[in-house]
Amino acid sequence: MLHFDLRVPIDMLWFGEFISPARGWKHLTRRLYEYEMMIVTEGELFIADEDREYEVRAGEYLIMSPTRFQHGTRECKCRFYWMHFHCPALPASVSLPPQGTYENAQTLRVLASMLLASEAEAPRSTRSKYLATQILIELARGHEERESEGAPPRKLLCEKVKNFVSFHRFSEIRVRDVARELGYHEKYLSAVFHETEGVTLKHYITAQRTAEAERLLLETQYTVAQVALYLNFESAHNFSRFFKKATGSSPVEFRRSHHPSHRPSTPL
């Protein structure tokens, strides 16, 4: 599975639609420094990396990870949308297999058309990046719907729990808040989550808030007090106590150990 952090838009580099010549075309050989997504709408694409070969038919997509040896394996006649992008992998907010099918073709065509128009007007604009992100989300949504069709009821319930926790990771929520929102008894929901996911729900909630705190400390210039405010803690002291209990380090120590040159913009 590929895991992408889509809490901010992906860094879309290039996007386009390719129609192969009538015959004799084979994908070029090169080193791929970023992710490349290909959504095949007609024909069949034969392509490979250093580990395996892929046959991507109409109605399928392929996301290739960075590789030293991307190359075509056979001549082919096909039509596909292609996109090169960078995106953080962890902590993941969307997961999908590198290759799969898609059923929401009309939605993808509309998004692709809008992205092509956006790129023609202003390449790599904020609008383009959000449209590119939406394409990835649509592929993931289709995969999730297919997976959920045969998923056990308990697994589906846990996915609802994780979605709720992710949406509320900026707030202080408790197990009882999740249970009340989903309409289950607190003890029952905790037991199901623990048995299915292998971790307690309380620990999972803490881990999600901690991951968001770590991201803010590493990716922004916010002071500890500002991070605490962003995550809806009552005070910087309460946030620091929460963070140290979860990670073993204070926010300042964590930031300093990961980015020695990074210092808060104002005294804490």
What confidence tens digit (pLDDT) does each residue in 51-88 have? 899 999 999 999 999 999 999 999 999 999 999 999 98
Specify if 42 maps to a domain: yes
Point out the domain boundary residue: 97, 130, 149: 149
The answer to whether residue 43 sits within a structural domain is yes
14 & 72 share domain: yes
Q: Do the domain assignments include residue 265?
A: no
Q: What is the pLDDT of residue 111?
A: 94
Instruction: Report the C-alpha gap between 37 and 54 in whole angstroms.
Output: 13
The whole-number pLDDT of residue 36 equals 97
Using CB atoms within 10 A of its CB, is residue 193 exposed (0-12), middle (13-18) or buried (19+)? Answer: buried
Shared domain check, 102 and 187: no
Asked if 65 and 163 sit in the same domain, the reply is: no
- Which of 149, 170, 194 terminates a domain? The answer is 149
CATH number of the domain where residue 45 is located: 2.60.120.280
Domain extent for 229: 154-258
In tens, the pLDDT along 139-166 reads 988 877 776 666 578 888 888 898 888 8
Question: 160 or 26, which is more confident?
Answer: 26
Task: Specify whether the CB–CB gap between 236 and 225 falls below 8 A.
Answer: yes
Last residue of a domain, one of 111, 126, 149: 149
Model confidence pLDDT, tens digit, residues 91-119: 667 888 899 998 888 899 999 999 999 99
pLDDT at 1: 79
Helix (H) or strand (E) holding 53: strand 53-57
Return the pLDDT at 262. Answer: 47
Residue 84 φ then ψ, to 5° = -105, 135
Domain total in the chain: 2
What is each CA distance from 139 to 126, 238, 268, in whole angstroms?
20, 40, 43
- The span from the CA of 116 to the CA of 99, in Å, is 23
Cis peptide before 260 (omega within 30 of 0): no
Question: 97 and 57: one domain?
Answer: yes
Are residue 145 and residue 224 in the same domain, yes or no? no
Same domain, 140 and 126: yes
What single DSSP character describes residue 96?
E
Please, which pLDDT band fits residue 33 given cuts at 50, 70 and 90? very high
46 and 162 belong to one structural domain: no
